[in-house]
Structure 1
């Protein structure tokens, strides 16, 4: 079974996911742009039961468009957002694509909030 490790910039917070992700989503929403400091965010979704957390995280919660909270877990030392759990998707953990040690084979399966996508961004999904 495939194991993938994702970690923060300093290595103090990590998450290991087993198996294949349920989906990989490129999100162009303004909140993801703010969170990443980039033009979009990429979330790799795994069943929470297939993940193991190494280290401790700080937590930031905000209300998503669903009206339900999303809990973002970030490193207490370096501030990197490593994973998050949206309440509207119980049992699912999203892991930040850029935090994975090995990104081979992780390709987007969907693009969301395309109304906020910058005109110069092109995303290919199956």
Structure 2
């Protein structure tokens, strides 16, 4: 779950939620359009979306080259697991209550490796 202002603007909501998968485990099909922009972490992100309706489909962050983020809403599954963490909490709306046991990072967590 990302609370950065860029994700807020992109989604029109208070946050973005993605499920990340190993690039080698993801197969994409059909047409898509791409919009690339800088991110709050300083690394570009390429967003792939449906050219017919504009729905966000997946994204590729240069900071995470081995992963592909897929918009959780694209799964249309109300039983999809809860996010494991919240990032960019520095931009989180104060009134948005999160589960008390959810790890909350002021920015992006430091990656090892």
TM bucket, shorter chain: 0.7 to 0.9
Task: Give deviations 1:66-119, integer Å, cap 9, x for gaps.
Answer: 332110000010011111000111110001111113242421110111111112
What does residue range 16-27 of structure 1 map to in structure 2 within 5 Å?
26-27=1-2
Instruction: Name the SS of the counterpart of 1:46 in structure 2.
Output: strand
Counterpart position of 1:85: 60
Instruction: Name the SS of the counterpart of 2:27 in structure 1.
Output: strand
Q: Answer yes or no: is 1:30 the counterpart of 2:5.
A: yes
Equivalent in 30, 42, 51 of residue 76 of structure 1: 51
* Distance in 2 separating the partners of 1:56 and 1:103: 26
Counterpart position of 1:52: 27
TM-score when scaled to structure 2? Answer: 0.82
Q: Which runs of 4+ in 1 moved over 6 A?
A: none
* Distance in 2 separating the partners of 1:46 and 1:64: 20
Counterpart position of 1:102: 77
**Bigger relative CO (Cα 8 Å, ≥ 6 apart):** 1
Counterpart position of 2:107: none
Q: Answer yes or no: is the 8 Å Cα contact 1:97–1:103 preserved in 2.
A: no
Return the structure number with greater strand share. Answer: 1
Give the aligned CA root-mean-square deviation in angstroms: 1.4
Instruction: Name the SS of the counterpart of 2:47 in structure 1.
Output: strand
* Distance in 1 separating the partners of 2:75 and 2:10: 17
Corresponding residue pairs, total? 101
